[in-house]
A and B are shown apart, each in its own frame.
Chain A
Amino acid sequence: MFRYYLKLGTLSIRANPMLSALMVAAIAVGIGACMTIFTVRHVMSGNPIESKNDQLYHVQVDNWNPDDPYEEPDGAPVQVTYLDAKALFDAGRAFRQTTSFKTSRVVQPDGDDARPYQEDARATTADFFPMFDVPFLYGAGWDRASDETQDHVVVLSRELNEKLFGGEDSVGRTLMLNDEAYRVSGVLDTWNPVPKYYDVNNNPFEAPARLFLPFSLAIAGSFDNNGNTSCWKPVEEGSGREGFLASECIWIQMWVELQNASARQDYMNFLNAYVEEQKLLGRFPRPLNNHLRTPSEWMKYNEVVDEDVDVLLGLAILFLVVCLLNTIGLLLAKAMRRAKDTSLRRALGASRAELFKQHVIEAGMIGVAGGALGVVMTWFGLRGIESIFIEYEFMQHLVRMDWSMVTLAVVLAIVSALGAALYPTWRTCNITPASYLRLQ
């Protein structure tokens, strides 16, 4: 009977083209609005490192002002000082660990015509690449020894390698940055985690840096920090770079990889012991407030998904409900128009259950059509958002519609259509056939 009902649904849609088109449009507009916002939220709330979510931890230690917490009521700072980054890194108590900050370098391409330009860079450590499963097209990251010896090595993004070396395997070649020669140790394959979980302090949706350099080299070379810096104590006047590095200013992101719950507990104990030790030296005036947060916890803690997006999503869902109420009205009108047909089928032996199936399948067909059109509407919605925020490069990462969103749009449309069809179908199935067959 399923094929028969599909045929009847097709005939019914053809017989009422305007009404059917209005229903499809109502569902499509609702789905389009809902899915546009939901897609943005989906991308914003994604976890690009889900597979290692229970092994990676962002490190928080509370070195902040005893009289004024970093964040009410007792939030710990979201970055660490250089003092703590270095001490915790040098202790080497985690399976892998990385410290990093956002910086930039002046790239001096080969060739007489090529002009130098500034490029975003990330100063980090050797473990950054294996910790975050960063894919390589050529070569690899530098080794831990290069961290210690402050080697002039660099990892390029795929795009930068294409720009500078025409996409060739550039491993071993030299790249001039700020008048210093760097050896290319590796070229990344396409890698664009959204959100940029390893550094949510500096716009979690901006593209990753295209240059990666050793952290130790950046410290020794006094590379500028292009990310956020927060201090609760002023840096000692006239102390220069050394004074800043010795200050209580936070500006470095630190992550550790811990392979199991026991390792996590051990590391937490280590952090607590470290802070207690620092307290004896006159630092860390606040109560113990250390945290190890997984990437998903870290993004949630930092409210990577803005509250406004949730409000917008709520409004979009409300809009979908309004569209569905319209659809219910249209379905009721259609049911009234087809009351005679329904009554006739009852007279010819259709049970209520059979009629219910017939109408539900027809509603499902409307839902599929609404879903398909809704996907198109969503695409236009996302393009609309992109064009409104065209000056923000990171927006292009938020307006991507993957297959899961396409599937969800269609499924949501079908479920919505079926939901909307329930009451009209119930009404249809419960009409008294005699009253409509009597009409001449």
Chain B
Amino acid sequence: MLNMKNVSKVYRTDTVETHALREFSLIVEEGEFVSVTGPSGSGKTTFLNIAGLLEDLTDGAYELDGRDISKLNDKERSRVRNEKIGFIFQSFNLIPELNIFDNVDVPLRYRGFNADERKRRIEQSIEMVGLGSRMQHLPAQLSGGQQQRVAIARALAGEPRFLLADEPTGNLDSQMADSVLDLLAEINAAGTTIIMVTHELGLADRARRNIFVRDGQVSDNAPELHLASMAAG
């Protein structure tokens, strides 16, 4: 379970103080598929970064699977990221000089699995996203949708409890976006908790719960379309 209570995040420069999150509170239960929407600059991505332990929070409390994240050192936080969290980014973030197999291998290396176990997991996850015949291809040799599938395979290879997706279909055409969302739905159905940030309300409707963020806080005043979809869901 993910539990954020009164989390705030402030970015400071010499002259400017920006409040990206203000007393942000959210609980995400095991197995949920939550979409996070909101206007640009509302704090969606900051929330996701803090949830994924990519950034420190300024104030408040954050527990992941019952562990107080603020008390973890770098090594422990890295281990939590590696074992419990999978990331999917809008720009895929594949390593261009590594082939598909080696890209999916990256988080498994830090996990300390032996070669056989890594190979099994890599092949299984790449097969799952339908790219079994492309394991030796470089990212540049794949389409955008295929690259995002590789990114999903990489996120899934470690069998994480949480999948954090930041605009996962932002760089894809609608057909590819649909197929990626179908895949995420499958993954969620298999038990993985998914939190997806998107600015497209249509895509947000594919989630089972929708969170609207405005001015760094979870807002009750969601757009009509959004509320309608929530009611329908």
Contacts and interface: CB of A to CB of B under 8 A. Distances in A.
B109 to A, nearest CB: 6
A286 interface: no
A322 B11 CA distance: 37
A340 to B, nearest CB: 7
A300 to B, nearest CB: 52
Nearest to A438: B45
Contact of B107 (A15, A348, A351, A353): A348
B93 interface: yes
Contacts of B98: 11
Contacts of B154: 348
B87 interface: yes
B55 interface: yes
A345 interface: yes
Contact of A348 (B55, B87, B97): B87
Interface string A412-440: 00000000000000000000111001111
Contact of A11 (B74, B97, B107): B97
Given A348-B154, A350-B78, A434 B49 contact: yes
Interface string B133-170: 00000000000000000000010001000000000000
Given A4-B109, A14-B97, A344-B93, A349 B79 contact: yes
B189 interface: no
B55 A340 contact: no
A346 B78 contact: yes
Contact of B93 (A349, A350, A437): A437
B49 A348 contact: no
Interface in A270-289: none
Nearest to B73: A351
Instruction: Report the contact-size class of chain A (Cβ under 8 Å from the partner).
Output: 20 to 34
Contacts of A348: 81-82, 87, 106-107, 110, 154
Interface string B75-111: 1001101110001011101011110000000110111
B38 interface: no
A340 B49 CA distance: 15
B43 interface: no
A347 interface: yes
Contacts of B78: 346, 349-352, 354
B54 interface: yes
A440 B93 contact: no
Given A352-B74, A434-B49, A346 B54 contact: yes
Interface string A31-47: 00000000000000000
Nearest to B55: A434
B216 interface: no
A341 interface: yes
Nearest to B160: A349
A350 B89 CA distance: 17
Interface string A2-24: 00100000011011000000000
A1 interface: yes
A6 to B, nearest CB: 13
Given A348-B81, A348-B106, A349-B110, A437 B54 contact: yes
B109 A347 contact: no
Given A11-B98, A341-B95, A433-B54, A350 B110 contact: yes
B67 to A, nearest CB: 16
Most chain B CB neighbours (cut-off 10 Å) among A14, A341, A432, A437: A437
Contacts of B54: 346-347, 432-434, 437
Q: What are the 6 tightest A-B residue pairs by CB atom distance, in nearest-first order?
A: A349-B82, A351-B78, A434-B49, A348-B107, A349-B110, A434-B54
Given A4-B109, A348-B82, A438-B49, 5 more contacts: A15-B97, A347-B81, A348-B107, A354-B78, A354-B110
13 contacts: A11-B97, A15-B96, A344-B106, A347-B52, A347-B81, A347-B87, A349-B78, A349-B83, A351-B74, A351-B110, A352-B78, A353-B74, A433-B54
Interface of B: 45, 49, 52, 54-55, 74-75, 78-79, 81-83, 87, 89-91, 93, 95-98, 106-107, 109-111, 154, 158, 171
